[in-house]
Amino acid sequence: MSRIRFVSVALLAALLVPVFGAFPATAAPLPQVAASTTLDLPWIALRPDDAGPGYRRDRALYQSLSAAAELTYSEGPELTALVDGMVLAGWQAAYFAQTELPTVDDPFLVARRVNAVIHEYADVEGGIQGQFLLAAAHTAKGDIPSGEIVAAGDEAVLFENSGNAFQGGGAPSAPYQGLRLIFRTGELVGNVSIQYFTETPTAADIEIVAMAMIDRIAAAQAGQAPDLSLAVARFDPAGLRQLGDQYRLIDGATVPRVG
């Protein structure tokens, strides 16, 4: 059975100020996109069928540290502190993927949206720090830690959230109910988010997604990934915020895409 750590709202709130206050106001030089990764992150990343039938890939790409951190904080001292903390923790790379399920009545409207970021750190200790930083940051933003048990990886924290988000089809933003799971397995930290516009998500919905990626992490660490992304000759990534490396054919099947 995986060892699960649950962090209460009170504990995270108490630790948040000293953790974020410990970093300098000016960030250290940022690692670039895919600065140094030893695993095939595009192969590990979220796939449409992880969430169930009918989903289609919207985006899949490497992100710079600043772009990945901006998924939590768009600007301000909180963003600077989060970036600095991830640098000090030994952040190496991040890969973002998003997949969507259209509504039955309108293929241009989203019924469910799932996205996930996989962060790679230099070692397990860095992964532990990186997971704590993300959990603390999302608690500070208003995500509510849930008491439900999710056995995902070495450690996992489940959050509940809600809000308004773009639903597609030219429609204005619409309300959603969401869950977030921040898990760690070794030196990798996953940040999985699901938004349901027409239903209320369950812990089982997000656990299925996380476990699919965790299984691929184990396979990649065992040398069973194709590792094509590690052999790509890329342009100089300096100054880039993202690189659109992705698998479009996996196990002989084309990955379904939006549009």
The CATH number that applies at residue 190 is: 3.40.1000
Distance, CA of 6 to chain centre? 18
- Give 88-136 pLDDT, tens digit per residue: 999 998 999 999 999 998 888 999 999 999 999 999 999 999 999 999 9
Would 143 be classed as within a structural domain?
yes
What tokens appear for 53 in the block?
A: 């039938």
Q: What is the pLDDT of residue 28?
A: 41
Structural domain for 35, as ranges: 9-24+31-254
Q: What is the pLDDT of residue 235?
A: 60
Residue 183 has pLDDT above 70, yes or no: yes
Residue 230 has pLDDT above 70, yes or no: no
What tokens appear for 214 in the block?
A: 């965790």
Q: What is the pLDDT of residue 238?
A: 55
Would 236 be classed as within a structural domain?
yes
Would 237 be classed as within a structural domain?
yes
Q: What is the pLDDT of residue 62?
A: 87
Per-residue buried b or exposed e for 205-231, using 16+ beta carbons within 10 Å of the residue's own CB: bbbebbbbbbebbeebbeeebeeebee
Number of domains in the chain: 1
Would 128 be classed as within a structural domain?
yes
Q: What is the pLDDT of residue 239?
A: 57
Question: What does the pLDDT average to over 221-246?
Answer: 69
Interatomic CA distance for residues 56 and 113, integer angstroms = 10
HSE of 14 in the Cβ direction (CA atoms, 13 Å)?
Answer: 5
Which is more confident, 161 or 70?
161
Question: What does the pLDDT average to over 186-194?
Answer: 96
Would 203 be classed as within a structural domain?
yes
- Give 44-85 pLDDT, tens digit per residue: 999 999 999 999 989 888 888 888 898 888 878 889 899 999
Would 1 be classed as within a structural domain?
no
Q: What is the pLDDT of residue 10?
A: 38
Which is more confident, 154 or 256?
154
Q: Are 27 and 73 in contact (CB under 8 A)?
A: no
- Give 14-38 pLDDT, tens digit per residue: 334 334 333 333 334 444 444 456 7
Would 3 be classed as within a structural domain?
no
Q: Characterise 48 by phi-psi region: left (phi > 0), alpha (psi -120 to 50), beta (else).
A: alpha
Q: What is the pLDDT of residue 37?
A: 66
Q: Characterise 24 by phi-psi region: left (phi > 0), alpha (psi -120 to 50), beta (else).
A: beta
Q: What is the pLDDT of residue 7?
A: 38
Interatomic CA distance for residues 94 and 34, integer angstroms = 7
Q: What is the pLDDT of residue 164?
A: 94
Q: Calculate what percentage of the chain has a pLDDT beyond 70.
A: 78
